[in-house]
A and B are shown apart, each in its own frame.
Chain A
Amino acid sequence: MTLHEFVQQCINGLSLGSTYALLSLGLAMLFSIMGLINFAHGELLTIGGYVMWTMLHHDVSWILVVPATLLATTLAAVAMERIAFRPLRGASIETLLVTSFALAFFIQTVLQIGVSAEPEPIAHTGWSDRGYSVGPYTVGLIQIITTAVTFAVLVALVVFLRRTLLGVSIRAAAEDFGVVRLMGISAGRVVVAAFALSGLLAGIAALLLFASAGSVSPTSGTAPVVAAFIAVVLGGLGNLTGAVVGGYVLGFADQILAAVHSGTILQFHDAVVLAILIGLLLLRPQGLVGRRQELA
């Protein structure tokens, strides 16, 4: 691989990694606060996709599509918490995991029966295909937007988590929920806020993803969210910085390996990426950013 190709793949990796980072942040937040591995996070993405499809299908302007999608995924996340997870507050990690797995299948099946099992086309907008040449490199407009939006979101999130009471409560709850409650912070509010935030992040990811994906189906959310799971574990489970780092490492690894792979091995690309990441975890079971906990 030439240096030129390498840089080009890094540019692609940056934008792919941004999408993963948005998803893995939402996942890591819920895991660190309530020990929930939320399988149904991908369905938030899918719901966002269907909202976009419905509105764009009826020629609604993008100016309305963006807030409507964000609102829909945020509300969906809050509804998930209220209906499915609140009755299970304090349940074991396994119970929460299985419930979220079931919830994911529930939403998929409802979309299959209610809409269709087939993919629905999301019209490409003129701008989502546009690309620019910067010196010898090609940069898609959607890649620039994805990266810029993600960076802006990360900055806003850091400010929120450091400067507001609710943000600090969320960070504290990630460390020790019991102590946060002893400080007189309402547990319900912290959990709802975390769900809303993860829904909002999923909504942003949905907008960026489906603007260029071209179609949405009931199972669209599965692959990206599973990749985000891997990113979360790679970064160090329950660690917000780690989730972002893991997302970007996964994005870069994916794109750089895609350039190296050719011919038959290209079909095995996803498997190779996953196997390498599991190999990385062998060296650092606590994740790239995590703290070490030894078990015999």
Chain B
Amino acid sequence: MWWPLRSAVGAALVCAGLVVVAAWGWASGGDHSKLTHFFINVTIVVALQSFSGNSGILSFGHMALFGAGAYVAGILTLDPALKSTYLPSLPHFLQDANPRWWIALALAAAAGGALALLSGVPILRLDGASAVIAILALLLIADVVFGAWTGVTRGGAGLIGLPPEVTMTRALAFALAAVVVARVFKDSKTGLLLRASREDAFSAASVGVAVRAYRVRAWVLSGVIAGAAGALFAWWIGTISPTDFFLAPTFALIVMFIVGGKGTVAGAVVGAALVTLVQEQVRGYEDSSLHLGVITFHRLTGLTQLVLVLMILLVMYARPEGIVGREEPDEAIVRFLRGRTA
């Protein structure tokens, strides 16, 4: 079978899982906000997986790409009447712009890709731990820009009243697309050589793999998906400010990526499911108080984060390769049917 088709068929198992979740949402009716959040989380963590999972360089900078997409989509689709109040110094063509959602989303994805290209070429000259820290520096730069560029982003006050352009169906469509693209990329020549360089960068380079160029490709693809996910997020949450794209959400994203398993797209989806469950279920308790005998905690600020910390530490100590492990489920099934061991 032609390999991209085989990969897409392989991804179908994960896609089927997502569709079942959505079908459960349609059947039970009511508010689909939480499931929409889940599909957005799937999209962004799959973006992270397509870079970090294949290249082996853990990225702390994806929230910069995600945030760029969110701000582009937010600024474009904000009601022009609100725009003239919130962002009076915006250039006229942006002031009057009010594109359809899918045009805004395409531009957000392009912005994510462009930022990735611009940052990836210099940053990915570095290797190993230096690259990790330089990517972290990208996150800091983005945070300063989101906060300080008040004429465009409204700074810490944030953009308020973004239109709810995202429905569960649209979020599902993008999650499915991201899963298929990431899986095909993983099995492509670039993905395969990149994974070889993850195991041993110097050996790969010595047999002619252009490690740096492949890393930049993965980073840009990842940026495009992250930008699109950012647009969906902006419309889902309705209000965006710089803290939505800084360290705390970065941590949540890393937890999703690690808990499920770094090497597989299926792992990313499983991680997104677990983290979304924690985010949506625990958040409600953050404002409540806790009485432990003589001690009373008045507010449980950061309880969600605490649960995520415990979750990731449990995985780090007990199963560092993540819940799903090293193989995609379809690969594991094929191996099982053929009667081979891993």
Contacts and interface: CB of A to CB of B under 8 A. Distances in A.
A88 B305 CA distance: 22
Nearest to A270: B144
A271 interface: yes
Main secondary structure of the interface of A (DSSP, over half): helix
B144 A101 contact: no
Nearest to A277: B137
Interface in A59-87: 84, 87
Contacts of B101: none
Contacts of A237: 128-130, 133
Interface string A166-191: 00000000000000000000000000
Contacts, number: 138
Given A94-B58, A271-B141, A281 B134 contact: yes
Interface string A268-282: 111100110111011
A259 B300 CA distance: 42
Nearest to B52: A94
A295 B132 contact: no
Interface in A14-40: 31, 35, 37
A275 B141 contact: yes
Nearest to B56: A94
Interface in B135-185: 136-137, 140-141, 144-145, 147-150
A278 B145 contact: no
B129 A106 contact: no
Interface of A: 31, 35, 37, 84, 87-88, 91-95, 97-99, 101-103, 105-106, 108-110, 112-114, 117, 222, 226, 229-230, 232-233, 237, 267-271, 274-275, 277-279, 281-282, 285, 287, 293, 295-296
23 contacts: A31-B129, A37-B133, A87-B317, A97-B58, A105-B248, A108-B302, A108-B305, A109-B303, A112-B301, A113-B299, A113-B301, A222-B247, A269-B144, A271-B140, A271-B144, A278-B134, A279-B122, A285-B127, A293-B127, A295-B201, A295-B202, A295-B211, A296-B205
Those 7 A-B pairs whose CB atoms lie nearest each other, nearest first:
A267-B148, A296-B205, A271-B144, A109-B302, A271-B141, A106-B309, A112-B302
Interface of B: 56, 58, 122-123, 125-130, 132-134, 136-137, 140-141, 144-145, 147-150, 201-202, 205, 208-212, 247-248, 251, 254-255, 258, 262, 297, 299-303, 305-306, 308-309, 312-313, 316-317, 320
Given A110-B306, A233-B133, A295-B201, 13 more contacts: A95-B320, A99-B313, A105-B248, A106-B306, A109-B302, A113-B300, A113-B302, A267-B148, A269-B144, A279-B122, A281-B134, A293-B127, A295-B212
